[in-house]
Structure 1
Amino acid sequence: MALRSANVTQGIEKAPMRSLFYAMGYTKEELDRPLIGVVSAHSEIVPGHYHLDKIAEAVKAGVRMAGGTPILIPSIGVCDGIAMGHIGMKYSLASRELIADSVETMTMAHALDGLVLVPNCDKIVPGMVMAAVRMNIPAVVCSGGPMMAGLVDEEEISLSKIFEAVGARKANLIDDAKLEEFEQGCCPGCGSCAGMYTANSMNCLCEALGIALPGNGTIPAVHNGRIRLAKMAGQAIMQLVEKDIKARDIINERSIKNALTCDMALGCSSNSVLHLLAIANEAGVPLDLNMFNQTSEKTPNLCHLAPAGDTHMQDLNIAGGIPAVQTELAKKGLLDLSVITATGKTLGENIEGARNKNPEAIRPIETPFSETGGIAILFGNLAPEGCVVKRSAVAPEMLKHSGPARVFNSEEEAIASIYAGKIVQGDVVVIRYEGPKGGPGMREMLGPTSALAGMKLDKSVALITDGRFSGASRGASIGHVCPEAASGGSIGLIEEGDIIEINIPEYAINVQVSDEELAKRKAAYVAPEPKVRSGWLGRYAKLVDSAAKGAIMKQDL
């Protein structure tokens, strides 16, 4: 077995490198074993990462048990919930690229033989996976697991409910005492927030891609099974190194199609579109937005986890987790069961014996929530290159909607108007200049969507943006409009009162303005000054590509 780490541990000329390892207390025996990077995003600012030191220690134990030498490496990570609604959110999506670049840097600079990636929350998971696929070395993802749901008024709740409670309080539908009850009760402990939000979506999709072991997406953070899983991940990476099974052997065109199918069945966050596009790009796999609709047309939606329904990740786990969902999908031949996974076995071997233990949490494929998938990509003169909606979280009466545009050039303007009671039933709230370039950073906007939900307007008002919505958002929240306003997209040409027509079943979104009028407006259009000119966000704004390509860095500089 040829090891990459021989470049820093073997031979006379490597004596200086070995001396630096010895300075840290490593032994000759440890340096003669495969060097495994354990990339941990542990910090004391992210609830999903607060306990990752324990997960990383368990991973290291597994690596040692299987004959390797684990080496802990830190990673940054943004808590989207804490960053929400202020300038901090501009840094969240952009941090994905920093994470990918930093994991690549540490791995290549120190000639590591394999990686166990220990993330949990939104951008950290795809950022780490992008790096592994880019370098094409053996890798396993071992996340920190989901948070348990909270409890208020004997009802399971999670983070989205406190954001909605703010809207309810603004509308005087609840009092300060009830708001405090939600505040204290919605997040009872560590882990990624308990609904099918972006973090849990990506951790489940890592299972679907095969880069994580079964249970990665659903075993709760506080369960002993999470520690056991971490030890198993440490052992699994050693097997992958020994067999020379690399990231692109696992993540390829076939497994990405499997992930798209699971995405639709689970009703994952709309942000999963951005991240799957970015991961596919690193794997050299052609993937465009049309493929999401093609997959949706043939994939039933089997799960309605929060915010789409009342179940949470703990319920999905008890029902059998992702293997149970995959077993349902396999009944109709919707998955390629021959793909290799991080277990060293095929997907078919992994799910052998799995079963759906709760048909309320995971609908049998014969009786799904809907015959089409949980995500839809809409096209039209408002979004010629596409936009994204989490269809499974849209009320039936909002699947088709027509209403006047209420136009805002920032999230702050929109949320102020919503809280002031200026948005009424039938309106279409348009928030622009929040895209990857115009934001910059494509802010996630849970505030406006939750405010409307809390004010009981989520079934009568639509929101459209060139920014993003949280995985915790529900209602007709349509994001990722491309081209974005800052790139001359037609969302920047909409005027107050223009009628916008949304038809999610037909994958259509249009502003009822003639081509001639749009051309006239475009000729008179003056691009606004960039919101951020300095720091790395200023550089990011110049280098980031369209959301239709996953908001990756431009490839043709």
Structure 2
Amino acid sequence: MSASSKKRDIKIRRSWEINGDIESDKDYWITRAGQRSHLYAAGFQQEDFQKPTVTVSAPYMSYIMCNQRCDTLLKAAGTAIEELGGKAFMNMTPVVSDGQTIGSAGMRYSLVSRELIADSIELMTDAYRTDAVMTFGGCDKTNPAALMPLARTNCIGITLYPGTAAAGKHPRTGEMLSQHSPYEASGAYSAGLLDIEELSQIEKHTCPGSGTCSGMFTANTMSTCIEALGMTVPNSSTAPALNANGEIHEQVLENCIQSATCLFEMMEKNVRVRDILTKEAFENSITVMMALGGSTNGVLHLLALAKEAEVELSIEEFNVIADKTPLLANLTPEGKYNVVDLHAIGGLPLVMKHLLDHGLLHGDCLTVTGKTVAENLKDVPSLPEDQDIIKPLTNPIAPPGRHILILTGSLAPGGAVIKTSGKDFPRWEGPVVVCDSEQAGLDTILQGKLQRGQALVIRNEGPKGAPGMPELLGCSAALVGRGLGPHCPLITDARFSGATRGIMIGHVVPESVHLGPLALLRTGDTIVIDVGRRALDWKVSEEEKQERSKDWRPPPSRVTTGILRKYAALVGDASHGAICN
């Protein structure tokens, strides 16, 4: 008997709500004749009604490097499911590229797309009463979006990653180029540090082909976090998207087959997503994020995923894990390697095995393979000695507490996020220049109005205020490009790209449109950043704050119709994942 004709031993069949089952309930089966007629029209054969149905969902757009091969991967996954005896209900969701929309009004839709993609997958799963779900990630928001509906509905599900792009290479110098390179080059051009020809060379050679951004930016942060959670097959989160011929890499295609196999085993054993997404699994994921030097967006997305999985996870717990996890990865944007280099020496399993051997991971967490984390890592070798991509715990790039940290204080009573990237960040005190929008902040930088020793505050760009909590990579990269990165902190209620470098503090809660302290700041006020104390404060008396609050009026809404208006009405704060729930 072939795999495709084998009757799977799957006892719980939600799909029978749609098409019925003559063996278990003939009377109900008779009432489903009309529904089956539509499936016959779509290509079902009589024997197909006994097969489990699987939603296969991929975010796709033809001109996004991260996801432009997902149409092909969707079909590959569907074929794997049908060869194992299932019926694949394939569909595509929207996707918004951060890299393409940064610095424009389109960037407001990026975080919104996370909710829309998650809702779309839930809709296509629950409306068709499918028995299991397979989802694809890719560009930044698609990775948490691929997992959020699975956690929300506690279905039987698995998620996949379409792979990472190769790094770019400067045609003249041979220097490795990464996704932050052209943004920083724009800032350097505005400061007269390079000419238009050099800028053109950098922009043309930064991204050599399909796949997600090559550094430890948000996409790869979330792919590795999700593998650490146990929700994708081992060693898939760092795989290259393309082979040397520019075709989909063989391992990515193999991951589709392996994922389908795992999914059917989960159906047969009735293993559900929340069996995997435990509190300990989230602690593993945060540990991996800290060790790899991941993006601050990982904080936002892991909080959202925990909320969907009904796991109690507070933003303060990120500091607890940060304070015991050294920074090990020498990856861009601060290091000298990209994620494909990590894959070449063993990928994430190599890192997780090292962390597990030193007691930093929970080895008994279940994964989609049906095995525990420790069982998956049993035969993974130790860190190779002849490489400096991943440093050992005995000689880390930086000690614990030197990467992503949560700050609180009078300027951020509900929390804020900073990424120190291994640096020993001294106490900083100085005056602020306040801007009421991203564009005003960018103009301030590019027009040379910000001086060393001043902090730039950009407000009204939070989840509700923007709305959509855009990433301010254009601003942060302009600061770095003009040589101000180490000297001028940037504080905002918006987010930052994983490609961000410099002294950047985002996710400030409450955001300014909720009369958070940012709303009352004025140019010239003094703020204090004390990373050692995990504190973000401003030196203004309580009496002065009260006087300013009397005069404050919320800024007019920037949107009055459409999806952004709905989002602004529903979204929560960043310290709780900025979800619409």
Contact 2:212 2:220 in 1 (8 A): yes
State the TM-score, normalizing by the size of structure 2: 0.93
The match for 2:188 among 168, 173, 186 is 168
Contact 2:455 2:489 in 1 (8 A): yes
Match in the other structure for 2:311: 285
Q: Is structure 2 residue 394 aligned with structure 1 residue 366?
A: yes
Match in the other structure for 1:93: 111
Q: Is structure 2 residue 435 aligned with structure 1 residue 408?
A: yes
1:141: Cα distance to partner?
0.8
Closer, same or farther: CA 399–117 of 1 in aligned 2, 3 Å: farther
Contact 1:207 1:217 in 2 (8 A): yes
Stretches of 4+ aligned residues off by more than 3 angstroms: none
Closer, same or farther: CA 289–399 of 1 in aligned 2, 3 Å: farther
Match in the other structure for 1:199: 219
Match in the other structure for 2:493: 466
Aligned ranges for residues 529-540 of structure 1 at < 5 Å?
529-540=556-567
Q: Which amino acid aligns with 2:237?
A: G
Distance 1:508 1:359 in 2: 37
SS for the counterpart of 1:211 is: coil
Q: Which amino acid aligns with 1:149?
A: A
Match in the other structure for 2:32: 14
Match in the other structure for 2:463: 436
The match for 2:94 among 73, 76, 84 is 76
1:501: Cα distance to partner?
1.2
Q: Which amino acid aligns with 1:33?
A: K
Match in the other structure for 2:5: none
Match in the other structure for 1:507: 534
SS for the counterpart of 2:34 is: helix
Aligned ranges for residues 81-230 of structure 1 at < 5 Å?
81-152=99-170, 153-222=173-242, 223-230=249-256
1:469: Cα distance to partner?
0.8
Aligned ranges for residues 338-349 of structure 1 at < 5 Å?
338-349=364-375
Contact 2:137 2:160 in 1 (8 A): yes
Aligned ranges for residues 225-236 of structure 1 at < 5 Å?
225-236=251-262
Q: Which runs of 5+ in 2 are unaligned?
A: 1-10, 21-28, 243-248
Q: What is the CA deviation profile of residues 77-128 of structure 1, one whole-angstrom value per residue up to 9, with x for unaligned ones?
A: 1001111111101111111111111111110110111111012111111112
Match in the other structure for 1:309: 335
Distance 1:77 1:422 in 2: 36
Q: Which amino acid aligns with 2:229?
A: L
SS for the counterpart of 1:298 is: coil
Q: Is structure 2 residue 506 aligned with structure 1 residue 479?
A: yes
SS for the counterpart of 2:90 is: strand
Contact 1:67 1:238 in 2 (8 A): no
1:411: Cα distance to partner?
0.5
The match for 1:331 among 357, 360, 379 is 357
Distance 1:517 1:328 in 2: 52
Q: Which amino acid aligns with 1:442?
A: M
Contact 1:378 1:509 in 2 (8 A): yes
Match in the other structure for 2:26: none
- Equivalences, count: 552
1:138: Cα distance to partner?
1.0
The match for 2:302 among 276, 282, 292 is 276
Q: Which amino acid aligns with 1:388?
A: V
Distance 2:426 2:34 in 1: 65
SS for the counterpart of 1:278 is: helix
Aligned ranges for residues 380-399 of structure 1 at < 5 Å?
380-392=409-421, 395-396=423-424, 398-399=425-426
1:57: Cα distance to partner?
2.2
Match in the other structure for 2:7: none
The match for 1:3 among 13, 17, 37 is 13
Match in the other structure for 1:543: 570
Contact 1:9 1:32 in 2 (8 A): no
Contact 1:377 1:387 in 2 (8 A): yes
Contact 2:462 2:468 in 1 (8 A): yes
Contact 1:65 1:235 in 2 (8 A): no
Q: What is the CA deviation profile of residues 386-420 of structure 1, one whole-angstrom value per residue up to 9, with x for unaligned ones?
A: 10012216x54x54322210100000001011111
Match in the other structure for 2:293: 267
Q: Is structure 2 residue 524 aligned with structure 1 residue 497?
A: yes
Distance 1:199 1:399 in 2: 30
Q: Which amino acid aligns with 1:352?
A: K
Q: Which amino acid aligns with 1:309?
A: G
Distance 2:142 2:32 in 1: 34
SS for the counterpart of 2:149 is: helix
- Greater Cα offset, 482-491 or 20-29: 20-29
Q: Which runs of 5+ in 1 are unaligned?
A: none
Closer, same or farther: CA 145–505 of 1 in aligned 2, 3 Å: farther
Contact 2:137 2:145 in 1 (8 A): no
The match for 2:74 among 38, 56, 66 is 56
Q: What is the CA deviation profile of residues 20-74 of structure 1, one whole-angstrom value per residue up to 9, with x for unaligned ones?
A: 1111112222231111111011221311000112222221232123222222111
- Greater Cα offset, 38-47 or 429-438: 38-47
Q: What is the CA deviation profile of residues 8-31 of structure 1, one whole-angstrom value per residue up to 9, with x for unaligned ones?
A: 122222222211111111222223
Distance 2:323 2:206 in 1: 35
1:255: Cα distance to partner?
0.7
Distance 1:29 1:452 in 2: 63
Match in the other structure for 1:451: 478
Match in the other structure for 2:348: 322
SS for the counterpart of 2:501 is: coil
Contact 1:304 1:392 in 2 (8 A): no
- Percent identity (aligned): 38
Q: Which amino acid aligns with 1:175?
A: D
The match for 2:323 among 293, 297, 302 is 297
Contact 1:80 1:122 in 2 (8 A): yes
The match for 1:30 among 39, 45, 48 is 48
State the TM-score, normalizing by the size of structure 1: 0.97
SS for the counterpart of 1:442 is: coil
1:137: Cα distance to partner?
0.8
Over the aligned positions, Cα root-mean-square deviation in angstroms equals: 1.3
Distance 1:231 1:148 in 2: 23
Q: Which amino acid aligns with 2:503?
A: A
Contact 2:330 2:391 in 1 (8 A): no
Q: Which structure: larger Rg?
A: 2
Distance 1:120 1:521 in 2: 45
1:296: Cα distance to partner?
0.5
Distance 1:154 1:512 in 2: 47
- Greater Cα offset, 403-412 or 510-519: 510-519
1:359: Cα distance to partner?
4.3
SS for the counterpart of 1:510 is: strand
SS for the counterpart of 2:163 is: coil
Contact 2:132 2:157 in 1 (8 A): yes
